Amino acid sequence: MKESIFKSHRLIDISPIVGPQTAVFPGDTPFRRTVALDMDSGDNLTLSSIQTTVHIGAHTDAPNHYSSQGPGIDCVSLEPYFGLCQVIEVSLRPSERIRPEHIVKQKIRAPRVLFKTLSFPDPNQWNNDFNSLSPELIELLAEQGVKLVGIDTPSVDPADDKILESHNCILKKDLRILEGIILTDVSEGLYELMALPLKIEGADASPVRAVLLESQTNVR
């Protein structure tokens, strides 16, 4: 019998809890769970349904979220969401986009890059002034072979951006997006990322259970 791949690794959950308290974009559909059957009420099992935006908690956008010609989340390859990734920490002013000069001292070492900004500190409390990505940064990352960009905020664009500059640059470069992750206790360095989307037909996004695998022997 083969040993589990997790035995020599530390598993780090970078997903927030999803519930009625979870903050969503103003005007979007909040989370609601409806219980149809409940064992605590004498039923033979517990059975429930949920209603929510698909852009809740840790989630990945599908190209059809920002392009009318883009595929839904059920049609995208899973490969970008699984594999070697790099966590990069930045410290910026509120509402500022991450630009190439902010990571000039960093060497891109993985095809998936997650940005730790700490600018959306409470997933249950909405704030508009979170950090985001710049198109120039996306261009730079794409040139270096990056296939997925992630950030610990609700969006790769500012909350009030209607043009969606970074989303459109991501579309042009055919990258994938991971938003809403929690990196508070994650150090900079290399990890293995697992953040597979659900196969929801035609959906513009999917919640994910995003986790990082850290090898005990990994020296960053």
For 205, the enclosing helix (H) or strand (E) is: strand 205-207
Assigned domain for 190 exists: yes
For 87, the enclosing helix (H) or strand (E) is: strand 82-89
- In three-state secondary structure terms, 74 is helix
Q: Please report, for residues 16, 90, 132, 143, 220, the alpha-carbon distance to residue 157 in angstroms, rounded to integers and kept in the order given.
A: 20, 16, 5, 20, 29
Count of the separate structural domains present in the chain: 1
Give the pLDDT score at 10: 87
Give the pLDDT score at 5: 52
Q: Which domain holds residue 113?
A: 9-15+54-215
- Check: CB of residue 177 under 8 Å from CB of residue 148: yes
The alpha carbon of 184 is separated from its chain's Cα centroid by a whole number of angstroms, namely 14
Assigned domain for 140 exists: yes
- Rounded mean pLDDT for each run of 10 residues along the chain, 220 residues in total: 56 98 97 97 97 98 97 98 98 98 97 98 98 98 98 97 96 98 97 98 98 68
Give the pLDDT score at 216: 55
Give the pLDDT score at 215: 63
Residue bearing tokens 């990196």: 183
Catalytic residue selected from 9, 55, 59, 65? 65
d(CA 58, CA 78) in angstroms, rounded, equals 16
Residue bearing tokens 């938003």: 179
Beta carbons within 8 Å of 60's beta carbon, 6+ residues apart: 73, 81, 176, 177, 178, 179, 195, 197, 205, 206, 208
d(CA 54, CA 27) in angstroms, rounded, equals 13
Assigned domain for 153 exists: yes
Give the pLDDT score at 156: 98
Assigned domain for 31 exists: no
Assigned domain for 77 exists: yes
Q: What are phi and psi of 158, to 5 degrees?
A: -60, 155
Q: Is the dihedral of CA 181, 182, 188, 194 positive or negative?
A: negative
Give the pLDDT score at 219: 44
Clarify whether 55 is annotated catalytic: no
Assigned domain for 76 exists: yes
CATH number, domain of 176, equals 3.50.30.50
Assigned domain for 33 exists: no
* Runs of H (alpha helix) within the chain: 135-143, 165-173
Assigned domain for 98 exists: yes
Give the pLDDT score at 148: 98
